Amino acid sequence: MNVYSYARQVKAVLVIEISLFVIALFIASLFWTNVCDGTLESCLADGTLTKPLTFLALSAIRPLVFTPFLFVGIIGGNAFGPIGGTILTALGAVLSCMVVFGLTKFLGQKLAKPWLRANLPATFKFIRSQDYKLVFAARLIPIVPFDLVSFVCGAMDFRFRSVAIATFLGVLPEAYLYSKLLDSSESSLESTLTTIMTFGILIIIPLMVFEFMSRKKGTGMWQLLKAMYREITYEVQSNNEIVKRAHFDPEQAPVLLLYGFFSSRRSVTVLERMLTARGHQVLSFNLGGLLGTFFTRDILETAGFIDYKLKRQFDRHGFRKVHIVAHSKGGMVALWWALKLGGHKFCDTIITLGTPYRGTRLTYLALVTPLGFIWRDMGQMRPGSNFIRSLKNLDIPENLTIHCLYSNKDRVARGGHGILQSNQFSQRIKSVPMHHIGHFEFLYRRDVGEKISEILKDSDRTNNRIVIQDAAHHASHAEEPGLSAAPILRSGNQP
């Protein structure tokens, strides 16, 4: 079975993109031709849709029928005049924004907010405190897609009031410009100059004065943007710097932490501290990806990288084996390394936290966008992918135990989707329910750290007992001629 084909993924995403575009055009044309008495041109004629409530209702559902903001802006200007049309178009923009914003707000609260807190906490604070400025600035730039901004605002969990007010004020210049596009008394250049002068005096200049005063207090948007940039830059630099521990005890198996999709090494910082405080030696590697920091690399490629890095650590520190604790996508990397690349020879315990063993539907959000052309792991984590089926069919060696921490509260790998389904040797898979834990909470909850530490210590005690029993058994036969008294180590303990 071909585990993964990037070319096939690109072709599939291209077909999906073209299909969605054709469907969107068909739905928009079908809707507006029915609303506009059979022709789109009639909607743009004077006197059409002259009832304000009807216009607002159509503006609200505009994103659902894949219609650009420009279209309703022209309708508003011709139906209600430059001033009335501008105000109604701006109000309609707020309503349509709330439709898209509301649809993605749920995902923002459950996924984006926890991700930001785990990876970029200072950036999260900046976004929450400056969300109204960010929305306003985005709305003032007409080339930025209106509905995309609304989508991002919801996904990033912006505040409702900030988005509504900033959207209304921010679209006023654009709405006014659109309302005068078909005005025969003015040229397009005159309309543009009039718009710039009018709203520059009424809105932009006062805001610039306000921003200048904020900069004196150290709370200006530009200053905060630079602080956010510095944090992201530091995150990239710190993740690409290798910090070598001064000493490792070769007799104690280290714990390798693997983080999940689009996360960075910072996301496992709390977990690393909890395990270190409980007496474990902890390792983590920069897994690469976007900006060399946020993990978007191919799963198979990353498993090979882990194999290379661990062998170097074994040679350098004299380790005999390693334990692995992996969150989300990291669990797939760990399993492929152990089951396909021979990693089970050096590892007898793998603990996965919210790993989507059956794939996750969230991958479709990327596969229906241009991101599907870039991120190979999206195709691998798609439900029913060849990679998912291959992982399920791999044999589990007798020395390896896989502990799957899962939760019904997990939005990425809900319930049983966080448990490895193997066609063989299911007794070597231990399911550990933690139904009060969300997907990103696996990374910092104290009870999760305690459970992981308990599993690791039980594993070490069991392996030490086996080694002692094997050594004693071999020693009892050493008195027989031709036998050596050297202890025998199981495969899981061999270097």
pLDDT at res. 234: 65
pLDDT at res. 454: 95
Domains within the chain, CATH numbers bracketed: 36-232 (no CATH), 251-467 (3.40.50.1820)
Pairing verdict, β 323-327 and 255-258: parallel
pLDDT at res. 380: 92
The backbone torsions φ and ψ at residue 429, rounded to the nearest 5 degrees and listed phi first, read -110, 120
The pTM score is 0.76
d(CA 193, CA 200): 10
The backbone torsions φ and ψ at residue 478, rounded to the nearest 5 degrees and listed phi first, read -70, -25
pLDDT at res. 197: 61
d(CA 243, CA 71): 55
Q: Tell me the two tokens of residue 185.
A: 């008394």
pLDDT at res. 199: 62
d(CA 256, CA 334): 10
pLDDT at res. 482: 44
pLDDT in tens, the chain (495 residues): 578 888 888 898 999 989 988 998 898 888 888 877 656 666 665 545 567 888 888 889 989 888 888 888 888 888 888 888 889 999 999 999 999 998 888 777 777 777 777 777 777 777 777 788 788 888 877 777 888 888 888 888 888 898 999 999 888 888 887 877 756 555 555 656 665 566 655 666 666 666 566 666 555 556 666 666 676 676 666 654 444 555 778 888 999 999 999 888 888 989 999 999 999 999 999 898 887 788 999 999 999 999 999 999 898 888 889 999 999 999 999 999 999 999 999 999 999 999 999 999 889 888 888 888 888 899 999 999 999 999 888 889 988 999 999 999 998 999 999 999 876 657 889 999 999 999 999 999 999 999 999 999 998 887 666 545 554 544 555 554 543 333 333 333 332
User: Sheet harboring 401-406: ordered strands across?
Assistant: 282-284, 255-258, 323-327, 349-353, 401-406, 429-433
pLDDT at res. 211: 59
The backbone torsions φ and ψ at residue 237, rounded to the nearest 5 degrees and listed phi first, read -65, -45
pLDDT at res. 72: 86
Instruction: Determine contact, residues 187/178, Cβ cutoff 8 Å.
Output: no
Count of CB atoms situated within 10 Å of the CB of 453 = 18
pLDDT at res. 221: 57
